[in-house]
Chain A
Amino acid sequence: MDRLVVIGLITSLVFVIIGTFWFSYSNETLDVIAERFNASESNIWTPLFPDYEIPGFEGNLMMNVFLGAVFTILIFVIILVMGKILKAQK
């Protein structure tokens, strides 16, 4: 399982790099429809990293990769801890 985790995390990093350098442009169906009807978002929350970028480092691809990698690891840890807590409550 340990080997699988390492392979999975390396694959995740590859996804982050590909998604940052080559396939970052996003224009989803919902965005297109919303634009057609002049609908606009009304955010009630200001995200820390809008558009997956660190404020002050917009357009810096290396920082975007770093951010993606940090949150990938964070999600891995959250699920790991959550799983252990749920299992302990068995």
Chain B
Amino acid sequence: MHIPDGFLDLRICALMYFGTLIFWIFAIRKSRQNLDEKQIPLMATLTAMFFAAQMVNYPIVGGTTAHLLGGPILAITLGPYAGLISMTIILLIQALFFGDGGITTFGANVWNMGVIGVFIPYLIFFLATKITKSQKGMLTGAFIGALIGDDLAAIFAGLELGLSTTFPYSIQVAVTAMGLHHLFIGIGEGIITTMIISILWKSRPDLLRLQKIAPSWMPDPITFIKEG
């Protein structure tokens, strides 16, 4: 899903940098206020882990491959603003050192994978847990959040490519192709996210109960789950 340089025109690149910049400002501000001593090593470990996990490409339909994004797990364990910072660092290293993604398209890539791919899963996870107040609801929210988050991130990439004058295909073609293929990737991301959250819930619930770096209207959803 990493869009390289040359695939988006400067108008789209600037727009995506601007949109992402707003989220970066809030992410830095919220992290300054809420980041605590326990979260920092967890954030560093998970960020390193998902950088490494993105090197594992598994086959999906039509001879294409996919890899785990990690945004949903980062969002659920650390909060979406911390998840955005983590994804920004991963994408920056990938673009600068490995040529995975681009410099002009960096804002768009962070928007797709670091904003949409992080905030949407967290929002769905938050709503599912708040409404159901149960472990089952929480895990269902984790799965659906990861699935929709991944697919929406791909649909946004398709929209940007389709709207760009430098890339020779229509919005319809780009969005359909990206959205359909990434549905399969989303299912994989959903299964792995649900598995990891389930394992953490059973073995280290304290990690899921750490304060989240999230918008104030989305407090830690884990607190809604009834004890026992």
Contact = CB atoms under 8 A, between A and B. Distances in A.
Contact of B65 (A18, A27, A44, A47): A27
3 shortest A-B CB distances, which residue pairs? A19-B55, A42-B6, A83-B40
Counting chain B residues whose Cβ lies within 8 A of the other chain, the interface size class is 35 or more
Interface of B: 1-7, 28, 31-33, 35-49, 51-53, 55-58, 62-67, 85-86, 89-90, 93, 95-100, 102-104, 154, 157, 161, 167-169, 173-174, 177-178, 181-182, 204, 207
B51 A72 contact: yes
B52 A19 contact: yes
A74 B93 contact: yes
Contacts of B99: 43, 45-47, 49-51
A65 B157 CA distance: 30
Q: Taking chain B's interface residues, is the majority helix, strand, or loop, or is none over half, making it mixed?
A: helix
B97 A29 contact: no
Given A15-B53, A19-B57, A90 B6 contact: no
A4 B199 CA distance: 13
B55 A68 contact: yes
Contacts, number: 188
Given A26-B57, A39-B7, A40-B6, 17 more contacts: A1-B38, A19-B57, A25-B57, A28-B66, A39-B167, A41-B102, A43-B102, A47-B97, A48-B97, A50-B99, A68-B55, A79-B47, A80-B44, A82-B85, A86-B28, A87-B36, A87-B40
A42 to B, nearest CB: 3
A40 B6 CA distance: 7
A57 interface: no
Q: Taking chain A's interface residues, is the majority helix, strand, or loop, or is none over half, making it mixed?
A: helix
A30 to B, nearest CB: 6
Contact of A32 (B31, B33, B64, B89): B64
Nearest to A42: B6
Nearest to B184: A29
Interface in A46-79: 46-52, 68, 71-79
5 contacts: A4-B204, A9-B49, A29-B182, A51-B99, A68-B55
Given A30-B178, A41-B4, A79 B44 contact: yes
